[in-house]
Amino acid sequence: MTPTLELACDLISRRSVTPEDAGCQQLMAERLEAIGFKCEHLRFDDTDNLWAVRGDSGPIFCFAGHTDVVPTGPEANWQTPPFDPTFVDGMLHGRGAADMKGSLASMIIACEEFVAKHPDHTGRIAFLITSDEEGPATNGTVKVVERLEERNEKITWCLVGEPSSTTETGDTIKNGRRGSLGCWLTVKGVQGHVAYPHLAKNPIHSFAPALAELAAEHWDHGNDFFPATSFQVSNINSGTGATNVIPGEVHVIFNFRFSTELTEEILRQRTEAILDKHNLDYDIDWRLSGQPFLTAEGPLVDAAVAAIKTEAGIDTELSTAGGTSDGRFIAPTGAQVVELGPVNATIHKVDECVRAEDLNILSRIYEKILVNLLA
């Protein structure tokens, strides 16, 4: 058992199902305070957050992450109890092992090692930790960033510990993410008897041509860092359940994952233009989960790429694939943001696990990044 694995097991054993923290942040704060960090506990509504800083001036390198985990599902389906960290054939099993308590442990140990060797490092090291990343994400990182902005406290470089790797730790860095724009659409018709369609107006039939056009639309071509914007319907609901009733409304939920080639406003305008073209009577509710962001190059990317090469011996790939992360709240402040963590093959699954040695490697990578930027 290395210090990284011991700490990872301690964190995994805490039942911090979102938005619960279950004492994880207090444990982290105690370790950080012991090496000179000033810790600030920020609770917003049901969410615990930690902002910790070491140093008084200069650029801020921030480790960002979350202590909350997704629900386990039926625990009887797990090979080992999800909150009883267990080693099986070199793999550490437990909810949060990969997403992302393993990363948090690696961050803490990396800082302890770095500070011991470089007590007078340049700049500042910070931690921004929340307990609501897996939930609505309304009282966590976004609120802490708002507080920091009010104080004009600017993060320069941010490393989010999300599990970014594909087959081996360090093979992929997320240096950006697509934006996410959701839509709740109601198309109105006139309910009636199916035997008298001339006395009704079927909203499903009315909407179908517009849906076909939306699905066939080429929104953009992407760019060197992002794939083309995608439109996906996730839910359609209509009708009374009877076979002889034309419904009065159809409810549709869809989502755009969009690149930096487009803006939220452009997507909304183009979508509504298609709906209007088909003379639909509709209500629409747009919800933006996050803007796209990109750190194409710069000191942070260079430091991370070099650290992975040194400590893991591999050439990493830069990628913007996948879902959203809390990096979407930090990047708009002007910070360079990357995501770097262990292999993501089992995240959110039954029997979530991570190769134990990967967490030790990850800790060394994190420490080397600190050396490259602040030593």
Nearest to 202 by CA among 217, 187, 186, 180: 187
Cα–Cα distance, 129 to 24 (Å, whole number): 10
Contact 95, 77 (CB under 8 A): no
The active-site residue, picked from 68, 112, 249, 326, is 68
What distances in angstroms separate CA 8 from CA 25, 52, 356, one per listed residue?
A: 13, 19, 10
Listed in order, strand segments (DSSP E) in the chain are 38-44, 47-54, 60-66, 86-88, 91-93, 124-130, 157-160, 172-174, 176-177, 179-188, 192-193, 230-238, 245-246, 249-258, 282-290, 293-294, 317-319, 336-339, 353-355
Residue 6 falls in the annotated catalytic set: no
What letter represents residue 267's amino acid?
A: L
**What is the rounded distance in angstroms from the CA atom of residue 185 to the CA atom of residue 211?**
11
DSSP 198: G
Query: What's the angle, vertex CA 26, arms to CA 357 and CA 158, rounded to 5?
Result: 60
Q: CB–CB of 216/156 below 8 Å?
A: no
- The catalytic residue among 20, 133, 339, 367 is 133
**Cα→Cα distances 323→182, 217, 327, Å:** 13, 22, 11
Amino acid residing at 109: I
Other Cβ atoms less than 10 A from the Cβ of 149: the count is 12
Q: Give the C-alpha separation, 85 to 60, whole Å.
A: 33
Task: Please say if 283 is a catalytic residue.
Answer: no
- Phi-psi region at 45: left, alpha or beta (left = phi > 0; alpha = psi -120 to 50): left
To 10 degrees, what angle do helices 101-117 and 356-374 make?
Answer: 40
Q: Is residue 130 within 8 Å of 47, Cβ to Cβ?
A: yes
Helix axes 24-33, 3-12, angle to 10 degrees: 150
> Which of the residues are catalytic?
68, 133
